[in-house]
Amino acid sequence: MQNSFFMNSLHAAGLVFGALIILWAISLRVKDASLIDIFWGFGFLLVATACLLLSQDKNLYVKIITALPIIWGARLTIYLAKRNIGHGEDKRYVAMRKRAEKKGLSENNWRLRTLFTIFFGQGLLIMIVSTPVLLATAQTNNSSELTIGPFVYIGVLVWIIGFLFEAVGDAQLSAFMKENKNFKGNMADKPVLSKGLWKYTRHPNYFGNACIWWGIWLVACNSNFGWITILSPLLMTLLLTRISGRDLLERQMKKRTAYVTYIKKTNSFIPGFPKR
């Protein structure tokens, strides 16, 4: 199993980091480091595809554990590409570049730094979060009799719930943003989405994303020692709540009057009925 895990990881990392170098080169050409955001889901798709192709026994379990990140990664990549391409560099990266310039770093040196910090940093996170898939598929190379147990059924159910929350939440947000794209008032008065899934949680897409990876981890628990990859869903949940997701977004959103009221009534992450 150790050799299979190592080979899966090596080939998957080669695909991910090779693709990141190509994407970085494109970002230099168009001067847009935020292209990396689109790659997030696609990176997991690459890892799962590598694991599927390398598996000696493509049984039902292998197909399930690899299909979940492939389906999720494909949807998220298409969604982010449609949302982001053609809108210029994200203001987060613009701000980072300006801070670097104030410290005397040239734009060329800034772009070079992004390869190791932003692009390769995301690649490392993708590899860590993908460990349930890497470990589970590695074990099937040594056992063609790995059966489908309760962890698979529960994990797939959790994944489906998460996928629906993320996909529906994203669709509702896209429709809301399109409806309000011509808003001309002050930022503090800008309307806030509080309908649909957004009525029950302030971040249904982030909650759904977390469920997706808890579901994948549960499916991995069907294999021997799959539970040791629990860092994967824990790290993804931490990213979605504390580092690059909810908390980062809400620092800006709290400047809106309607959002302050929205916070008082709506659960932060896990869905629940609105407070009176």
pLDDT reading at 139 higher than 70: yes
Distance CA 173, CA 54 (A): 38
Q: Can you read off the two tokens belonging to residue 163? A: 């996928």
Ranking 19-23, 184-188, 233-237 by mean pLDDT, the lowest is 184-188
Query: What is the predicted pLDDT for the residue at 103?
Result: 85
Would you say 206 and 246 are in contact if contact means Cβ atoms under 8 Å apart? yes
Cα 219 to the center of its chain, rounded Å: 18
pLDDT reading at 94 higher than 80: yes
Query: What is the predicted pLDDT for the residue at 276?
Result: 77
**Average pLDDT in the 196-225 region?**
96
Query: What is the predicted pLDDT for the residue at 109?
Result: 87
- Looking up tokens 């799962």 gives 48
Of 227 and 92, the structure prediction assigns the larger pLDDT to 227
The full length of the chain comes to: 276
Among 246, 169, 158, residue whose Cα is nearest residue 205: 169
pLDDT reading at 144 higher than 80: no
Would you say 169 and 208 are in contact if contact means Cβ atoms under 8 Å apart? yes
Confidence of residue 182 (pLDDT cuts 50, 70, 90): confident
| Residues whose CB is less than 8 angstroms from the CB of residue 168 and which lie 6 or more positions away in sequence, other chains included | 196, 197, 204
Q: Can you read off the two tokens belonging to residue 35? A: 């292209």
**Average pLDDT in the 179-194 region?**
86
Confidence of residue 141 (pLDDT cuts 50, 70, 90): low
Ranking 3-17, 46-60, 78-92, 139-153 by mean pLDDT, the lowest is 139-153
57-66, 91-100, 149-158, range with greatest mean pLDDT: 149-158
CA terminus-to-terminus distance, the chain: 54
Of 223 and 231, the structure prediction assigns the larger pLDDT to 231
**Average pLDDT in the 170-177 region?**
95
Distance CA 165, CA 122 (A): 24
Confidence of residue 73 (pLDDT cuts 50, 70, 90): very high
Would you say 213 and 65 are in contact if contact means Cβ atoms under 8 Å apart? no
**pLDDT tens for residues 230-266?**
999 999 999 999 988 899 899 889 888 899 999 999 9
Domain ranges of the chain: 1-146, 148-276
SS3 for the chain, per residue? CHHHHHHHHHHHHHHHHHHHHHHHHHHHHHCCCCHHHHHHHHHHHHHHHHHHHHCCCCCHHHHHHHHHHHHHHHHHHHHHHHHHCCCCCCHHHHHHHHHHHHCCCCHHHHHHHHHHHHHHHHHHHHHHHCHHHHHHHHHHCCCCCCCCCHHHHHHHHHHHHHHHHHHHHHHHHHHHHHHCCCCCCCHHHCCCCCCHHHHCCCCHHHHHHHHHHHHHHHHHCCCCCHHHHHHHHHHHHHHHHHHCCHHHHHHHHCCCHHHHHHHHHCCCCCCCCCCC
Query: What is the predicted pLDDT for the residue at 123?
Result: 97
